[in-house]
Amino acid sequence: MDALPETYSGRYVIYVKEGVYEETVNITNRMANITMYSDGSKTSIITGSKSIAIEVRVLVCASPRRSKVFLCVHVMRLGITNTAGEEKQQVLVLWVKSDWSIFFNCRIEGKHVVRVGGE
């Protein structure tokens, strides 16, 4: 995401190669038109072991952060996994707080409760 040009206004397409990537992806309001895709949700995976016990709760985040920019995020055929177990307390795998987001054929996995919607 750091490679995204500051002044780019079109759709920015990111191909995620096959592999397991241990990192946090944060899509901010300056990245308002993003598409991420891969060849399969079981072959291209963003993973981590984050939780509130270590004060990091999110692996993939799409949030406009109180701006009037509407994020348009498309994620296709991508795996998102948080491997933090019960000893690390609550975990949050994916947090999307944008108006126009599409997750198509994605695999989202965590070790705790699944919560959809709400704050």
Residue 62 belongs to a domain: yes
The count of domains in the chain is: 1
Establish how many alpha carbons lie within 13 A of residue 66's alpha carbon, considering only the half-sphere containing its beta carbon.
Answer: 0
Q: Domain containing 29: what range?
A: 12-111
Residue 116 belongs to a domain: no
Residue 6 belongs to a domain: no
- pTM score: 0.69
- pLDDT per residue as tens digits for the range 65-89: 444 445 678 889 988 887 776 665 6
pLDDT tens digits, the chain, 119 residues: what are they? 777 777 777 888 989 999 998 887 877 767 778 888 999 999 999 887 665 544 444 445 555 444 444 567 888 998 888 777 666 566 667 777 777 788 899 988 876 555 555 55
Residue 3 belongs to a domain: no
Residue 2 belongs to a domain: no
Residue 4 belongs to a domain: no
Residue 73 belongs to a domain: yes
